Structure formats: structure tokens, C-alpha cells
Structure 1
Amino acid sequence: MAKRIAVDLHYFPNLEFFAAIADADELIFFPEDIYQRQSYFNRTEIRLANKVGTLSVPIQGRRPKIALNRIKISNDQNWVNIHLRGIQSAYGKAPFYEYYFPYFETVFEQKLESLWDLNWQMLTICLKLLRMPVKMRVHEQGQEQTWAEDIRGQLMPSVPFSERDYYHPESYFQLFGLDFDPNLSIMDLLFCEGPASKSIILKSIKKH
């Protein structure tokens, strides 16, 4: 029987996300869910030369109880160039940067207005590069519940991953320094480890 997991849509999800969905056949997303502040919907973490840095996508206006698929990106803040420069400075010398970055750059260049659409395209690319054959489906209001597991609202920046049951860090090659930084953006793993990324994710699933 196919395993379906209800999940949130994140901006370049971290490794905990991929560990949590690694055995899923289908991911179900909910565009009508209400936007939550301080979530991963518009932020991700990358490893810079002397720190872990956060990339945040700016959002238009105030957001009182607005559906995720109605969140608009504030494209007048030049955020795309900031993110592109940040990613290049962080990973320009990584072994697989030149192979994988053009996939993401193509999406950035579209200057999308919808954060939902941006995240959807980026996740689609990440799953393809990871060779994870999971399907992505949007849940429409009124449809019956077809998922076995619901992890919406669980992967939040405010709570350490160590307090959840999905991810146990498996170290891998990283640029800059000797200390390993766990649970960064999937970009960190892809750019540094390339085709080995999927096996590292599978090794990082927390054993129960």
C-alpha cells in the first residue's frame, strides 16, 4: 500500500524534512493552510565561511490569517540577487555546485510572484536531483483524507530537530572549517556530496 504523508511546503527544505519523508510514496501539500510566522515557508539555512546564515524570501504586506498560496513575494527588495550571491559565496567552490546550481538559477530568474510556486518548483528539482521518486500532490478542500501520517506544523525553527523523531545527523563533507553543521538546507548536501546525497539522507533517519 502506498505511503502518503501530509507535509508543509518549505523553501529549500532542510535535511530533517527529507529524512522525515524518505520512505513516502506520495507527499500531500495544503495550499489553503494558513501562513505561520517563524516557519520554514520562506527561509533556509546555509553554511558560510564563518557562520551558518539564513536566507529569507521577503513577503508582501501584513499577513493576518492568509492562505499559503496567496502569499506574494516582495520582488522589489532585490532578494534574488542577495540569495544568488549568498549561495555562490557559500558553495561556489563545492564539488557539485556547477552541476546542480543551474537548475535552481533557472527558477530564480523567473522572478515568480507566488512563494508557493517558488517552493514547489525548487522542491521538485531537489527530489529529482536526489533521485527520490516520491510524487507531489496538492490536497483540495473537500477531498477525503488519504494520508497515513501528518507532520504539518512539526518541523519548526523554534524547536531543535533533536527533540523530534525524524533526523539523526550523519556527517558529510562540508566547506569551511572542521566542525560539522547538521540540518542545513538541502543545497548544502547536494552541492557538497552530489550523487551520494540520497544515501546520506537515508543514513540520517532516526532509528526508533
Structure 2
Amino acid sequence: MSNIIIHPSYFPSISHFVAIAQSGLVTFEMDDHFQKQTNRNRMYIYSPNGVQLLNIPIKHSKTGHQKTKDVKLETAFDWQKQHFKSLEAAYRTSPFFEYFEDAILPIFQKKHTFLMDLNLETMSVVSKCLGLDFDYTETTEYFHEVAHKKDLRYLVNGKKDTSTFEKYTQVFGEKHGYLNNLSILDLLFNEGRHALAYLKRQEFTTL
């Protein structure tokens, strides 16, 4: 895949990492306006009851408009503890949860101020766990259309992301069936060292 532009998001969907693993150079969109109900501040995991949304509370601007990089996390709720408990309930019995737990846990113990800093850290930690090295740059200005890059910014909106990928074994698969394109953590905890090869061999279709 050619050079891409994509949104940093909270433990992104598998489609994000398929795109990154198959790209030449990644550009992170840093200058967009925050939009509600997107994966900028949420991820989907496979819980004992099926798909589960984990949402990060944020401080909303009084004007209603703010850039994603300026969005601050709401510290009045102990969302980090709740999110990690949910991950434990979902993946404690998965093949690789304990193997990667020490790498992932600090993210839920550190107090970030800005959503963007948190998102970039989740992507960095996951990349190291995957053994995925990639070069990236960051935007300094927002453009509705970008030249010389594959525009994959729409992937941050789960409703527009219709990617379908090869099935792999999931903890509660026999109970609820296969759930496609969840957070990258689902793939990491279930496939471990095989996850990177999985990402590289997926057929990726774009809008």
C-alpha cells in the first residue's frame, strides 16, 4: 500500500493496523476537529457477553468545537480501572494476555492530560508488542483532501469502516460467533507473535 494518512485512536481497530503494516509511510492526522461517537476515544472488545464498547470520558469545550489534539481527558471518573477490568474479564483466559500484560498495564496507570497523547502511546505500545516498526510523520495543518497519500482517515468512524478480515480464534467465539475488526488488542491477545503476519496478509479494501 502507498503512503497513508490516518487518525491516531484509542487502541485502534484491526483495520488501522492492517493499513499501517502494509504501508510505506504513515502520516498521523493531528489537526482535525474532534467528532463525537468515533473511535478517537473508544474501542470495541470481545467480552463474555459479546461485543463491548469501552469509551473514554473527555472534557467538552464550551464552544462545542475543539481540535482533537486539544481534547483533555475527564479525570472525575476512574475509567482506566474500569477499562482494564473489562480487558481482564474479556482476555484473561486468552493465549497471550499474560504475555503482554506488563506492556499494556502502565497505560492504565499513567494519568494523561490529553487524549491525543494517550492515543499515540497506545499505538506505540501495541506496535512494539506486534514487532511492527513503521515510520510516521504528523500533520501541521488540516486539509480536507490530501495529495500523494491514501486517505484512510474515515477508518476512525466505525460506521464507515466496512473492512472484513480473515477469521482467527477468539475466546468466546463458540458462544457468540466470530466478531470482525475489533480493537487490535483482540488480535494481539489471541494471536500473539502470529498477529503481525496476520496483518500483513489481509486483503484491505478502501472506500
Partner of 2:189: 191
Kept in 1: contact 2:17–2:199 (CA 8 A): yes
Alignment of 1:71-150 (within 5 A): 71-141=71-141, 147-150=148-151
Partner of 2:168: 172
CA–CA distance in structure 2, aligned partners of residues 8 and 206 of structure 1: 17
CA–CA distance in structure 2, aligned partners of residues 21 and 27 of structure 1: 7
- The alignment's TM-score, normalised by the length of structure 1, stands at 0.88
Partner of 1:159: 160
1:206: Cα distance to partner? 3.2
- Verify: 1:204 aligned to 2:202, yes or no: yes
1:160: Cα distance to partner? 5.0
Alignment of 1:46-57 (within 5 A): 46-57=45-56
Q: Stretches of 4+ moved more than 4 A in 1? A: none
5+ residue gaps, structure 1: 162-166
CA displacement 1:7-59 (0-9 Å, x = unmatched) = 11111111111222322132111222111112110000000112110000000
SS at match of 1:21: helix
SS at match of 2:171: coil
- The alignment's TM-score, normalised by the length of structure 2, stands at 0.88
1:81: Cα distance to partner? 0.7
1:151: Cα distance to partner? 1.5
Q: 1:177 to 1:70 in 2, by over 3 A?
A: same
Kept in 1: contact 2:9–2:156 (CA 8 A): no
CA–CA distance in structure 2, aligned partners of residues 121 and 160 of structure 1: 23
1:88: Cα distance to partner? 0.6
Kept in 1: contact 2:46–2:90 (CA 8 A): yes
What is the identity, as a one-letter code, of the residue corresponding to 1:33?
D
5+ residue gaps, structure 2: none
Q: Which moved more, 1:100-109 or 1:118-127?
A: 100-109
Equivalenced residue count is 201
Percent identity, aligned pairs only, is 27
Partner of 1:182: 180
CA RMSD of aligned residues (A): 2.2
Kept in 1: contact 2:25–2:135 (CA 8 A): yes
Kept in 1: contact 2:154–2:160 (CA 8 A): no
What is the identity, as a one-letter code, of the residue corresponding to 1:50?
N
1:147: Cα distance to partner? 4.5
